[in-house]
Amino acid sequence: MAKYDIELVGKIGSMALIRDDKHDIDYNVFSRIGRDLVPGMIWVSSGAVEIGRLDYIKRTGMELEGDKSAVMTDYSSQGQAILMEEYRRFIPAQYSVRQLLVEHTHFNDESKREHIRAFLLRCPGQGAIPIVNYNDTVSFEENRRWELSKLRSNGLPKVVECIDNDETASVICTLVHSKLLLILTSADGIYLDPADPSTLVERVEGKDPEEVVEAISELQKHCEGSSREGAGGARSKLEFIKAPVRQGTTVIISNGNFSIKDALEGRCRRTVFQVR
């Protein structure tokens, strides 16, 4: 039987945290997530930029203008404080809550990667739940592209970008060898036809990890589009989960309208990727 160091790595996308009709945070989502999080879980949360944007509009009645990287930096900085405030509010008081802001450079450097891994593996024994997000505040696009290009030119076999938190969650899942990877989105899972909810693919299985990965590659042919500008969409999600699947992790993609427990226990619509 495989040995796993962490029970679950979970991730929620920005739009799953927002009430479109009210242009505001969906506090019910934070409540559902918070009550299910326990030590032994690592939670990767998008949302800082969008939450910061909504908060700025709420306070000033206008959006920021100017250079895109500068605007994202300012929104992210404002949103991070709110993001952590909401997780702390709804996670049970007996557990510690710890923020971890990561960048691509952290996972492309062996010593930094190991430092992060050691931190994450200490958390369960200390009764702590890590909340992870990409550090948009200091990692701006022009500098990030230059750093990634330099890493590739130096011959690094696989360069981690982590611009999309789906990738961040998958990289962390592989790093800590998690039993489960849960990705909560604004959709119910992966569809053969994104315009037809009845085409939800409930299970993607194989006799071994490589057969599951082959099935994932086939499923990618049906995927297109994304929920917002800058997001990778379903095809990218499927690409990112291949590495966790190869190490034996069961991956679940479900809707952020449902609780972690409902998604894990199959009490809602979802797509499950696993070895039979």
By the 8 A CB rule, do 219 and 237 touch?
no
User: What DSSP designation does 163 have?
Assistant: -
How do residues 73-112 score in pLDDT, each as one tens digit?
999 999 999 999 999 999 999 999 999 998 877 888 889 9
Beta bridge partners of 97: 129
Q: What average pLDDT is seen over the chain?
A: 88
Domains of the chain: 6-275 (3.40.1160.10)
Q: Which position has the higher pLDDT, 185 or 231? A: 185
How do residues 248-274 score in pLDDT, each as one tens digit?
999 999 999 999 999 999 999 999 999
Beta bridge partners of 12: 45, 184
- Tell me how long the chain is: 276
How do residues 109-138 score in pLDDT, each as one tens digit?
889 999 999 999 999 999 999 999 987 766
By the 8 A CB rule, do 237 and 253 touch?
yes
